[in-house]
Chains A and B, each alone.
Chain A
Amino acid sequence: MQRHLISAADLSRDDAVLILDTAEEMARVADRPIKKLPTLRGRTVVNLFFEDSTRTRISFEAAEKRLSADVINFTAKGSSLSKGESLKDTAQTLEAMGVDAVVIRHGASGAPYRLATSGWIDAAVVNAGDGTHQHPTQALLDAFTMRRRLVGRDAGLGRDLDGRHITLVGDILHSRVARSNVDLLHTLGAEVTLVAPPTLLPVGVETWPCEVSYDLDATLPKSDAVMLLRVQRERMNAAFFPTEREYARRYGLDGERMARMPDHAIVMHPGPMVRGMEITAEVADSGRCTAVEQVTNGVSIRMAVLYLLLGGNETALTHARTTEEK
């Protein structure tokens, strides 16, 4: 395992399975009377959020607190960041305070990579979403949810998603969740199909390790999981489709379409959901929609990632007992 988590593409199959297995044990902490582990006691984690986020930040914060880390929240609004401070100066400020890990969300793709590789800071860097690039912990929690639902909680331990058909529908162009998911699911052996209007597919998508289709109805019957992505209006500066109604009619998941999916298949959504657009209320409230479960799993996955990045010491120090051997 590396020291940073920047991209889902950096994870090997074994790393990814280790994170999922660790998360499975972390999930059990939530069933205890005292939902806390002492593992990261005395470690300081900064949540550095340059972009608005509620669920990701809260999820990371919950994970950090369950592992007993000291948490500092740093949001762009009302801080030195809004006064024009550069990423470098912010990083050096944090370094001077002696933080052990930085969880960063940034509007610019590549900001976490820059932070991790620039030498500005010694801390471990966890990417919590950068621009339209990557959101690795989201991909991990999605894979975790799929493995639990499609393979089984205990049966899934040590296993990947070999041969499962996963369909991602919606705004692929602006979605870091889609990029991370394609990378990770491919690593885990799943077969991914992207379904979107041609205008919402990025240039170069044909080089991604996945299939591309414009026809949702043809893809549904062979999908084990269908993940719906929100149409990100805030990142849209041009007209990508004629009307929202037309989008909903062709790419939205309603009850009738859901009935065409195999019985075991699940509906996933990374949130926030726009009901009536990519998903109808009927589907969102059905037992096959795992949106709420994904939030719960997010905490377990982030605990696993933080533990695996910060829980030990890579420079294997010599234990005191060796002195007696000489």
Chain B
Amino acid sequence: MDTHHRQGDQARPEDPRSEARPVLEGPDIARVLTRIAHEIVERAKGADDVVLLGIPTRGVFLARRLAAKLEEITERAIPVGSLDITMYRDDLRLQPPRALARTEIPGDGIDGRLVVLVDDVLFSGRTIRAALDGLNDIGRPRAVQLAVLVDRGHRELPIRADYVGKNLPTSLRETVKVLLAEEDGRDTVLLGAKRATPGAHP
């Protein structure tokens, strides 16, 4: 997830010129998550110590879905929580204060565990940097990995995802919007064009 696309989307939900086209539909998202779950089990050699932390809002739903799939595969309960990064953002001073979301760390904590951060879109990488800062204040994981549904490129920091649902080469003029049933009523990933208003906030 990234500020830029999210803000843009909220500012103008329906713009006739930016007709968004779906790049992933519900069944695709389900398949992608199943694949990521298998990859996590493979890379973590059984996912014994995995803790999934979703980044609000949509990362949390993805983390819960991933946890359900991991539980199917490993037949063990997988701790899942959420990590709100608002207070760690590097662009806090550039905008009016944002409402906070919930940080919910599973009961056993994250010390010595393999934390997999889950987010919907990987863009500049700044959200993930903030999440890594946030993790620092909560505990010391054995390792931290990153799972994203969509990687749209344009990184501004040396950050990469360990598990990627779909690599989506985009231009900065485009927006990527992930819709999930829990929040938006349907599962889909939309690729749209950004309205070019010079001087406006992206």
* A residues at B contact (CB < 8 Å): 1, 18, 21-22, 25-26, 28, 32-34, 36-39, 307-309, 311-314, 316-319, 321-322, 324-326
When the two chains form their complex, are residues A314 and B198 in contact, meaning their CB atoms are under 8 A apart? no
Q: Is B155 an interface residue (CB 8 A)?
A: no
Q: List 6 A-B contacts (CB under 8 A).
A: A36-B137, A312-B95, A316-B95, A319-B3, A321-B172, A325-B172
The one of A39, A308, A325 that contacts B196, using a Cβ cutoff of 8 Å: A325
Shortest CB–CB separation between residue B70 and chain A, in angstroms?
26
When the two chains form their complex, are residues B137 and A22 in contact, meaning their CB atoms are under 8 A apart? no
When the two chains form their complex, are residues B137 and A34 in contact, meaning their CB atoms are under 8 A apart? yes
Q: Is B158 an interface residue (CB 8 A)?
A: no
Shortest CB–CB separation between residue A31 and chain B, in angstroms?
9
The one of B139, B196, B197, B202 that contacts A319, using a Cβ cutoff of 8 Å: B202
Question: How far is B4's CA from A322's CA once the two chains are assembled, in angstroms?
Answer: 10
With A25-B84, A312-B96 known to touch, is A319 a contact of B103 (CB < 8 Å)? no
Chain A contacts of B200 at CB under 8 A? 322
When the two chains form their complex, are residues A317 and B94 in contact, meaning their CB atoms are under 8 A apart? yes
Question: How far is B98's CA from A1's CA once the two chains are assembled, in angstroms?
Answer: 11
Shortest CB–CB separation between residue B192 and chain A, in angstroms?
14
Chain B contacts of A36 at CB under 8 A? 137
Shortest CB–CB separation between residue B77 and chain A, in angstroms?
22
Which 5 residue pairs are nearest across A and B when measured between Cβ atoms? Answer: A312-B97, A25-B100, A311-B97, A34-B137, A37-B87
- CB contacts under 8 Å to A, within B85-141, are 87-88, 91-103, 133, 136-139
Shortest CB–CB separation between residue A271 and chain B, in angstroms?
28
Chain A contacts of B197 at CB under 8 A? 325
Q: Is B173 an interface residue (CB 8 A)?
A: yes
- CB contacts under 8 Å to A, within B171-202, are 172-173, 194, 196-202
> Please, which residue of chain A has its CB at the minimum distance from the CB of B89?
A39
Question: How far is B100's CA from A39's CA once the two chains are assembled, in angstroms?
Answer: 12
Question: How far is B97's CA from A1's CA once the two chains are assembled, in angstroms?
Answer: 9
With A25-B100, A25-B101, A314-B96 known to touch, is A38 a contact of B87 (CB < 8 Å)? yes
Shortest CB–CB separation between residue B11 and chain A, in angstroms?
11
The one of A34, A318, A326 that contacts B201, using a Cβ cutoff of 8 Å: A318
Chain B contacts of A34 at CB under 8 A? 136-138
Which secondary structure dominates chain A's binding surface? Answer: loop
The one of A26, A309, A316, A319 that contacts B4, using a Cβ cutoff of 8 Å: A319
With A322-B199, A322-B200 known to touch, is A316 a contact of B96 (CB < 8 Å)? yes
The one of B94, B133, B196 that contacts A326, using a Cβ cutoff of 8 Å: B196
Chain B contacts of A317 at CB under 8 A? 94-95
Chain B contacts of A18 at CB under 8 A? 99
> Please, which residue of chain B has its CB at the minimum distance from the CB of A324?
B172
Shortest CB–CB separation between residue B82 and chain A, in angstroms?
11
Shortest CB–CB separation between residue B88 and chain A, in angstroms?
6
With A25-B102, A325-B172, A326-B196 known to touch, is A38 a contact of B97 (CB < 8 Å)? no
Chain A contacts of B202 at CB under 8 A? 319, 321-322, 325
> Please, which residue of chain A has its CB at the minimum distance from the CB of B3?
A319
Question: How far is B72's CA from A27's CA once the two chains are assembled, in angstroms?
Answer: 35
> Please, which residue of chain A has its CB at the minimum distance from the CB of B111?
A33
Chain B contacts of A26 at CB under 8 A? 100
Question: How far is B133's CA from A200's CA once the two chains are assembled, in angstroms?
Answer: 53
Question: How far is B172's CA from A39's CA once the two chains are assembled, in angstroms?
Answer: 29
When the two chains form their complex, are residues A21 and B93 in contact, meaning their CB atoms are under 8 A apart? no
**Per-residue contact bits, chain B 31-45, to A (CB 8 Å; 1 contact, 0 not):** 000000000000000
The one of B88, B138, B199 that contacts A32, using a Cβ cutoff of 8 Å: B138
Chain A contacts of B198 at CB under 8 A? 322, 325-326
> Please, which residue of chain B has its CB at the minimum distance from the CB of A314?
B96
Chain B contacts of A28 at CB under 8 A? 102-103
With A32-B137, A39-B87 known to touch, is A308 a contact of B97 (CB < 8 Å)? yes
Shortest CB–CB separation between residue B79 and chain A, in angstroms?
16
When the two chains form their complex, are residues A313 and B99 in contact, meaning their CB atoms are under 8 A apart? no
Question: How far is B138's CA from A312's CA once the two chains are assembled, in angstroms?
Answer: 24
When the two chains form their complex, are residues B94 and A22 in contact, meaning their CB atoms are under 8 A apart? no
